[in-house]
Amino acid sequence: MLKSLSRAVSVAARLSTKAPAAAPTARAALASPALCAPSSASTRPFTRSIWMLCSSNGATSGSRPKLLSTERGLPAVPCGCGGLHTEGDKAFAEFLSDEIKEEKKIQKSATLPKMSGGWELKLNGTEAKLIRSLSGERVTITFNINNSIPPTLEEEEEPGHGQKAEEKEPEIVSTPNFVVEVLKQGAKNALVFDCHFPEDEIGHGKGQEESDIFAIQEVSFQPEGDEDWKETSYTLNTDSLDWALYDHFMDFLADRGVDNTFANELIELSTALEHKEYIQFLEDLSSYIKCN
Amino acid sequence: MGIVLRNLQNVVPLRRARLRKDVETLRHILGVQKFDLGIICVDNRKIQNLNRIYRKKNAPTDVLSFPFYEDLRPGKMPCALHRDEFNLGDIFLGVEYVMQQCRETSCDFHGTLTVVAAHGICHLLGYRHETEEEWNELFQRESYILTEFNRLTGSHLEPLTKRCTQDS
């Protein structure tokens, strides 16, 4: 239940809630020789010539900065990097600088949490694989942190609780769909389970209607190591499945280390990975905007 | 729908297929196989929370029953007319609590879970244990159910009330 409550804030809040607090520091940091700042005009003749062209009453005019604003339809000034720089870009870079600082502040650890049970982690961008061999079987879990944060509906604040809701930082939790492949020794095909974290458990659950921590959506046999899902393989959908068979599947996975404990650890790992990738994205974006 | 089984905890490893099969057998013994039943397995924290909210007892327990038919007379079958009325209600099994009890008494966990589930189903069917008379009535019913269960499965289970459990 607590988990459900903690997710009751939209993902978008991440960008919108933190910027104001740290804004002054970043503004100070970015006041130094920015590529398109008016002070750099003296060392960049070409840029200065643009200034001259744009100016209506000479370079000494007090209205000079205005010429670079979007009001006059000249949103950007070219610089040596080959890109454009606008006041908007400058504000954007400042915002990103603040955001990166804030995100690093709330990052629990720079290293990813370890999964118990001897799972080996392999990363490829946003895709993660957890591999474990046990008694001749190889179990591989694959998940991708992209789009793994469920969209949450803004819950209406109860009167009198508004203040409290503002004080509490929303917790962002990554709950990716994950695929479990179980390959037996000598078998051509792996038994593949398409699993997910049901929405009502992680997001909007109210009352006592709660789902399992994770659920199996589909089961099929797939050729070993094939990257592409073979659509011609029979795929068992659990929506209309005999529940006894479903329970046997769940027990089968639990015997191979894929149980509720695993699922909770997977959420922790995925959340940490998603946050790390988010920070990396912000840093890349910041560099891109600043053309460093 | 039949039996809706949920496992919301990660403290105790659970054999879902066995639990479902055992509860299915209990349903047949009681002649309520047409009625839906929710079995939700939870840890101490969750069941303590429910116990506090619904029974004003701030402690974990083994089972809490939430009957669909709240005023059912013990031993009387629910009178369901529409499809959605074929519902007994939900049982929350405090599997962590049961596991702790089993460790202390060296009992088989899944066998005990079946006994606890039988107790919970009896509550869904109107049985109580607030008076001596009710207690005896419940004990008789549990004895019958588990005797039948033992006969069908070769188990050796005994009623929960015999163990002087005042909870649930």
pLDDT at position A55 over 60? no
With CB atoms and an 8 Å threshold, state whether A251 touches B2. Answer: no
pLDDT range class, residue A278, cuts 50, 70, 90: very high
Task: Name the residue with higher pLDDT: A107 or A200.
Answer: A107
pLDDT range class, residue A171, cuts 50, 70, 90: confident
pLDDT of res. A78: 57
Q: Which of A190-204, A266-280, B91-105, B126-140 shows the lowest mean pLDDT across its residues?
A: A190-204
With CB atoms and an 8 Å threshold, state whether B10 touches A264. Answer: yes
Domain range for A40: 13-107
pLDDT at position B1 over 50? yes
pLDDT at position A14 over 70? no
Instruction: Let me know whether A131 and A242 are in one domain.
Output: yes
pLDDT of res. A209: 54
Instruction: Let me know whether A75 and A199 are in one domain.
Output: no
pLDDT of res. A265: 96
Picking from A208, A211, A243, the nearest residue to B3 by CB comes out as: A243
Domain with residue A211: its CATH number is 3.10.280.10
With CB atoms and an 8 Å threshold, state whether A247 touches B6. Answer: no
Highest mean pLDDT: which range of A111-115, A185-189, B60-64: B60-64
Mean of pLDDT values over A228-251: 90
Instruction: Let me know whether A258 and A194 are in one domain.
Output: yes
Instruction: Let me know whether A73 and A170 are in one domain.
Output: no
Instruction: Let me know whether A83 and A131 are in one domain.
Output: no
pLDDT range class, residue B91, cuts 50, 70, 90: very high
Burial class (CB in 10 A: 0-12, 13-18, 19+), A260: buried
Interface of B with A (CB under 8 A): 2-10, 13-17, 19-21, 24, 40, 49, 66, 90
Question: Which of A246, A260, A265 to mutate to test binding with chain B, by most B CBs within 10 Å of its CB?
Answer: A260
pLDDT of res. A202: 47
Mean of pLDDT values over B144-153: 96
Mean of pLDDT values over A271-278: 95
DSSP, collapsed to helix, strand or coil, labels residue A216 as strand
Fold of B3-159: Collagenase (Catalytic Domain) (3.40.390)
Contact A51, A67 (CB under 8 A): yes
Mean of pLDDT values over A184-199: 91
pLDDT of res. A53: 38
Q: Distance from A242 to chain B by nearest Cα, in Å?
A: 10
Closest CA to A37 of A75, A71, A1, A65: A65
> Domain residues of chain B, as ranges?
3-159
The rounded percent of chain B whose pLDDT value lies above 70 is 95
Residues of chain B positioned with their CB less than 8 A from the CB of A258 = none
- Give helix A13-29 / helix A87-106 axis angle, nearest 10°: 110
**CA pair distance A56, A64, nearest whole angstrom:** 9
Instruction: Let me know whether A42 and A186 are in one domain.
Output: no
Following CA atoms A262, A264, A269, A271 in sequence, which dihedral angle do they give, to the nearest 10 degrees?
160
pLDDT of res. B12: 96
Picking from B4, B9, B21, the nearest residue to A260 by CB comes out as: B9
Instruction: Let me know whether A19 and A120 are in one domain.
Output: no
Specify the number of domains making up chain A.
2
Closest CA to A207 of B105, B108, B40, B12: B40
Average pLDDT score over chain A: 73
Q: Distance from B104 to chain A by nearest Cα, in Å?
A: 24
**CA pair distance A201, A265, nearest whole angstrom:** 16
pLDDT in tens, B110-140: 999 999 999 999 999 999 988 999 999 999 9
pLDDT of res. A155: 53
With CB atoms and an 8 Å threshold, state whether A210 touches B15. Answer: no
pLDDT of res. B87: 95
Instruction: Let me know whether A99 and A116 are in one domain.
Output: no
The rounded percent of chain A whose pLDDT value lies above 70 is 61
ipTM value: 0.90
Q: Distance from A212 to chain B by nearest Cα, in Å?
A: 5
Is A290 inside a domain boundary?
A: no
Instruction: Let me know whether A19 and A75 are in one domain.
Output: yes
pLDDT of res. A2: 36
Instruction: Let me know whether A138 and A261 are in one domain.
Output: yes
pLDDT at position A26 over 80? no
Predicted TM-score (pTM) of the model is 0.77
Q: Distance from A197 to chain B by nearest Cα, in Å?
A: 12
pLDDT of res. A107: 87
Question: Which of A1, A116, A212, A245 to mutate to test binding with chain B, by most B CBs within 10 Å of its CB?
Answer: A212
pLDDT of res. A291: 76
Q: Does A183 touch chain B (CB under 8 A)?
A: no
Q: Distance from B133 to chain A by nearest Cα, in Å?
A: 32
With CB atoms and an 8 Å threshold, state whether B6 touches A211. Answer: yes
Q: Does A259 touch chain B (CB under 8 A)?
A: yes
pLDDT of res. A223: 86
Secondary structure, 3-state, A123-190: EECCEEEEEEEECCEEEEEEEECCCCCCCCCCCCCCCCCHHHHHHCCCCCCCCCCEEEEEECCCCCEE
Q: Which of A79-83, A126-130, A228-232, B42-46 shows the lowest mean pLDDT across its residues?
A: A79-83
